[in-house]
Structure 1
Amino acid sequence: MTTALVRALGALAHEAAHAPAPAGCDCPPPAVLADRADGTVVRSGAFVAKAHAPGTDTATLAARLALAARPALADVLLAPLPVPPPKGPVTAAGPPSPLSPYLTELHGRPVTLWPHGEPVDPQDPDAAPWEEAAALLARLHSTALPASAPPASPLPAGRPPAAALPAMRGPVKAALAVDRMRAARPGEPSTVPVLAAWQRLPAWARGEAPAPAHRARFLCHGDLHLGQLVREPAPPGRWLLIDVDDAGSGDATWDLARPAAWYAAGLLPPDVWFRFVDAYRVAGGPALCAQGDPWPELDVAARALTVQTAALALAKSAAQDRDPDEVEGMMIEACARIAALPPELATEPAS
């Protein structure tokens, strides 16, 4: 954890929550919600400050922030907050970026501000909002792709418009997970079924070629899991999707693929899976046929997410000098079953 960065994020969130700051403020200290390679998140009161990954392309991040700020998606995506002007040396934050009113910089990292939302309770799996997640995805996938995401308010003079919305990063992240596994466990037998399942995927699902035109035409979240939902405001507020770092145009089945992969591996109960699929269809989700078996549409993305999850499990367990746990082992076993499929069952389904 970078202490200076965490303190600066907490100060920025605190400043945003108190404009102007009251004299003798007795607020509780900021809380670190996440500190990973892909982002550091700190909360102060009702505000959250996020430092995005080092090396993040700020032009594409600005396009994704503009997408999240679109009024048409206010009931789907949590909207970012404008960055306040600098108030002195407390945070060492700069002014809002020329690319976006929602973006600034701290300690060389791009930083954004968000309302705090109540996350899914990991200790209460029966209350997980699977139907709500499916309905949110259906609305997102049904939204027309913008040529470029327009700002929520007029741009100040001299501020360039946001870049065009980029492609969803799902296949790229899957490829990075496989590369990370290879580096962590070079030549180890445990990686063989994962690599075999990876090679059975079409090139577009490995991030090595553009997706077929019939697949790459939806607005996608890019990294759907239950940790990407919050209630805002806190209960009884509505559920919204958060974290648009991977959002963009692409194959909408990728957003359905993680629960599909869990179901296929035996980690998600069938009744929960069918509730999720039914809720997506009822909400008009365009990625699945209206009735019948959804697996022909989901197969490729589900296999890709299975490989990604297994590869990350092997990489992380190697870094921690441990064996994969039971859940991780089930995903690795699922890769072995994929690798054993006859060739005619492991090919791209017809459009």
Structure 2
Amino acid sequence: MTTAVVRALGALAHRAAHAHPEEPCACPPPLVLADRADGTVVRSGPVVAKAHAPGTDGPGLTGRMALASDPCLSGVLLAPLEPRPTALLHDRPVTLWPHGDPVDPDEPDAAPWAEAAALLATLHRTPAPPGLALPPMRGPAKAARAVARMRAARPDDPAAAPVLAAWHRLPPWARGEAAPPAHRRFLCHGDLHLGQLVRHPAPDGPWRLIDLDDAGLGDPAWDLARPAAWYAAGILPPDVWHRFLDGYRAAGGPAVRPGGDPWPELDVPARALSVQTAALALAKSAAEGRTPDEVEQAMVDACARIASLPPELGTGHPS
């Protein structure tokens, strides 16, 4: 990220926040909220400007923004200020959003797992708006990119072997090589974690889902897969997992059966998210010249357990 990019995004957000942006104001300087390969996010007052990743699929982004703007999902998704990208910045589309307060990382006991589950269930239950061209949910594609990144960072490294073994045990659709089963095509967020929730209006408004860069049609179990994988790896406490799962079921979510064992539906997506998380952990630790930390190693160990299971155990609890 360059200072020029931050300045340009801050200026776009500032103009959107003021009826007369040319007049003097007391706004603080633009604040960088995120700077990753998949997007740079800058806040000015009540508005956030996001420069999406280079090479972003323009029609796909437009369809996702139309989805977030649809009144049927106003209680689930944070709507953009404009229903389409508003600018191009170094060939990167820019979108404008209202600012919301994120989950407080210093208060893990107050994390809104049940609220996130209810939002997902409502999203999954909502029919796709008629006439809206939506791309496939990008969760499997993100997993494939994570594995490719690990391979580039750790070529021929034995540490990557269990992750690759677990990856090759997944069916083609979970590796992004084929469409999911036809009966599992619902509206999906595509990249659910607690960083994708904000309160709007801040600070006490209801929770809303943000960041729809990976949203689309697909298997709704994918949206439950990250917490499921963390639970199976021993990272997410059982009471938190059950609060999330019970909240999803209570809200009528279709990703899993209403009661009983949820793992027949969750097994493959949870395994894929285990691989994705472990692959990113190995790539990141290699780039930083260090060994994986305890949590990162737990996900690599989970992949080793997945790879050690007999081939006929394609479903069930992935522990």
Give the TM-score of the pair, scaled to structure 1.
0.88
Contact 1:68 1:78 survives alignment (8 Å): yes
Residue 22 of structure 2 is aligned to residue 53 of structure 1: no
Q: Residue 77 of structure 1 corresponds to which residue in structure 2?
A: 77
Contact 1:145 1:219 survives alignment (8 Å): yes
Q: Residue 254 of structure 1 corresponds to which residue in structure 2?
A: 222
Q: Percent of pairs identical after alignment?
A: 74
Shift of 1:22: 6.0
Selected match of 1:190 from 137, 147, 159:
159
Which digits, 9 at most, give the CA deviation of each residue in 1:254-312, with x for residues without a partner?
Answer: 00000000000000000010111110001000111111111111000000000000000
Q: Residue 121 of structure 1 corresponds to which residue in structure 2?
A: 104
Q: Residue 10 of structure 2 corresponds to which residue in structure 1?
A: 10
Contact 2:66 2:84 survives alignment (8 Å): no
- 1:27-38 correspondence to structure 2 within 5 Å: 27-38=27-38
Residue 257 of structure 2 is aligned to residue 274 of structure 1: no
Task: State the alpha-carbon separation in 2 of the partners of residues 101 and 62 from structure 1.
Answer: 6
Residue 87 of structure 2 is aligned to residue 104 of structure 1: yes
Task: State the alpha-carbon separation in 2 of the partners of residues 348 and 67 from structure 1.
Answer: 33
Of 131-140 and 318-327, more deviation after overlay is shown by 318-327
SS of residue in 1 equivalent to 2:60: helix
Q: Residue 335 of structure 1 corresponds to which residue in structure 2?
A: 303
SS of residue in 2 equivalent to 1:234: coil
Task: State the alpha-carbon separation in 2 of the partners of residues 205 and 177 from structure 1.
Answer: 13
Task: State the alpha-carbon separation in 1 of the partners of residues 295 and 176 from structure 2.
Answer: 26
SS of residue in 1 equivalent to 2:27: coil
SS of residue in 2 equivalent to 1:345: coil
Contact 2:281 2:296 survives alignment (8 Å): yes
Point out the structure with max Rg over C-alpha: 1
Which digits, 9 at most, give the CA deviation of each residue in 1:4-38, with x for residues without a partner?
Answer: 11100001111111111263322110100001110
Contact 2:101 2:203 survives alignment (8 Å): yes
Shift of 1:2: 1.6
SS of residue in 2 equivalent to 1:237: coil
Task: State the alpha-carbon separation in 2 of the partners of residues 102 and 207 from structure 1.
Answer: 27
Which digits, 9 at most, give the CA deviation of each residue in 1:297-342, with x for residues without a partner?
Answer: 1000000000000000001111111111110000000000000111
Task: State the alpha-carbon separation in 2 of the partners of residues 80 and 108 from structure 1.
Answer: 20
Task: State the alpha-carbon separation in 1 of the partners of residues 71 and 241 from structure 2.
Answer: 31
- 1:1-351 correspondence to structure 2 within 5 Å: 1-21=1-21, 23-82=23-82, 101-149=84-132, 164-215=133-184, 217-346=185-314
Task: Please list every run of 5 or more consecutive structure 2 residues that lacks an aligned counterpart in the other structure.
Answer: none
Count the aligned residue pairs.
317
Task: State the alpha-carbon separation in 1 of the partners of residues 278 and 131 from structure 2.
Answer: 35
Change (3 A) 1:61 1:348: farther
Contact 1:148 1:165 survives alignment (8 Å): no
Task: State the alpha-carbon separation in 2 of the partners of residues 221 and 35 from structure 1.
Answer: 21
Contact 1:168 1:250 survives alignment (8 Å): yes
SS of residue in 2 equivalent to 1:311: helix
Shift of 1:107: 2.7
Shift of 1:348: 9.5
Task: State the alpha-carbon separation in 2 of the partners of residues 59 and 108 from structure 1.
Answer: 14
Task: State the alpha-carbon separation in 2 of the partners of residues 203 and 23 from structure 1.
Answer: 56
Contact 1:81 1:102 survives alignment (8 Å): no
Over the residues paired in the alignment, what is the CA RMSD in angstroms?
A: 1.3
Contact 2:84 2:95 survives alignment (8 Å): no
Shift of 1:180: 0.6
Shift of 1:212: 1.3
Paired letter, 1:294: P
Paired letter, 1:207: G
Shift of 1:147: 4.7
Task: State the alpha-carbon separation in 2 of the partners of residues 273 and 213 from structure 1.
Answer: 28
Of 171-180 and 205-214, more deviation after overlay is shown by 205-214
